[in-house]
Amino acid sequence: MRQRQGLIALAFLAPALVCLAVLRIVPAISAVVESFYTESLLRGGRVFTGLSNYTDLLGSKDFRQSVGVTLLFTVLVNPIQVMVSFLLAVLFTQKAAGSKLWRTLVILPIATPPAVSAVIWSVIYRPDGLGNGVLQRLGLPAQPFLTSPNQVLPSLIVLLSWIGVGYWMLFLIAGIQEVPVEVREAALLDGAGPWRRMISVILPLVRRPLAFVLVADTVSNLLVFAPVQILTKGGPNGNSNLLMYDVYNRAYAIGDIHVANAEVVILVVLTLAIVAGQFRLLRGDQ
């Protein structure tokens, strides 16, 4: 009986498992395998080269810069996005006039595809664009935004946060609404102020959704691609050359699919290491 149940369960799961294998696992294995080969355009033929694609990558200044830029980006963008999402979530769970409307406005950018958002922001960031128009009205000097090696990464972070913050906020709002009313009332009766209630009551109680948001946000930010492709092409001077874009560039613009495969393997390892580190930190607090 039990065995039959197992077979039925397997039959129901089969479509998902087949898709998982065909769409995810096979390409993943193929990427790892291909990363050990190289191919000459002039002579043709695929040759096994062991780790040479990896050593070439590690020896390349451009690749090392790309890793550096990606790490810097990760360290900056995730805390900013998680913190802003949390603050917005707290704000929009207050019973205040129009909070639902505001909430909708913050979530709205999710409905815009990243590519479209990037195009909109390209108009904002143009030297003669909306951004500098606003700065001028405020009496501030014009900024180079995407054309400056120092401002390009912060500019991308602002753009990506505009898209992402509303999305992550949704998870945290759900978490905050799960906090039992009695706990909040108890804190209120004990005379805790709004700041104290947020830090000492709500924050510890939404740690689970917060941990999810942190990890999922980190992974999604390691995969940022469209805005880089559309707005900066990795420049100026490689200062926005995030790994995912570099992988794409190597595979489809430069056309070296084998080195690109090696790079994607490195990106996965890096992602796993960062996420594992985050879990360790979160567990350490337990």
Q: Which of residues 237-276 bind other proteins (CB under 8 A)?
A: 237, 244, 247-249, 251-261, 263-265, 267-268, 271-272, 275-276
Interaction with other proteins in 162-221: which residues (CB under 8 A)? 208, 211-212, 215-216, 219
Which lies closer to other proteins via its Cβ, residue 157 or residue 247?
Answer: 247
In the complex, minimum distance from the CB of residue 95 to other proteins, in angstroms, rounded to a whole number: 30
Q: Which residues, in sequence order, are CB contacts of 61 under 8 Å at separation 6+?
A: none
Listed ranges 6-14, 31-39, 100-108, 180-188: which one lies at the site for other proteins (CB under 8 A): 31-39
Question: Which member of 7, 42, 97, 138 binds other proteins (CB under 8 A)?
Answer: 42
Residue owning tokens 């995810």: 24
Residue 86 interacts with other proteins (CB under 8 A)?
no
Q: Is the dihedral of CA 77, 78, 84, 85 positive or negative?
A: positive
Which lies closer to other proteins via its Cβ, residue 120 or residue 219?
Answer: 219
Q: Which residues, in sequence order, are CB contacts of 112 under 8 Å at separation 6+?
A: 120, 163
* Contact assessment for residue 80 and residue 72, using Cβ atoms and an 8 Å cutoff: no
d(CA 122, CA 251): 25
Question: Which member of 26, 134, 135, 186 binds other proteins (CB under 8 A)?
Answer: 26
Q: Left, alpha or beta for 48 (phi > 0: left; psi -120 to 50: alpha)?
A: beta
Q: Which residues pair with 46 in a beta bridge?
A: 39
Which lies closer to other proteins via its Cβ, residue 144 or residue 154?
Answer: 144
Residue owning tokens 């996420």: 275
d(CA 276, CA 253): 32
Binding mask 102-141 for other proteins (x = CB under 8 A): -----------------------xxxxx------------
Question: Which member of 24, 64, 100, 196 binds other proteins (CB under 8 A)?
Answer: 24
Interaction with other proteins in 145-164: which residues (CB under 8 A)? 145-149
In the complex, minimum distance from the CB of residue 74 to other proteins, in angstroms, rounded to a whole number: 14
Tell how far CA 61 is from the center of its chain: 24
Which lies closer to other proteins via its Cβ, residue 20 or residue 75?
Answer: 20
Q: Which residues, in sequence order, are CB contacts of 83 under 8 Å at separation 6+?
A: none
Q: Which residues, in sequence order, are CB contacts of 124 under 8 Å at separation 6+?
A: 130, 131
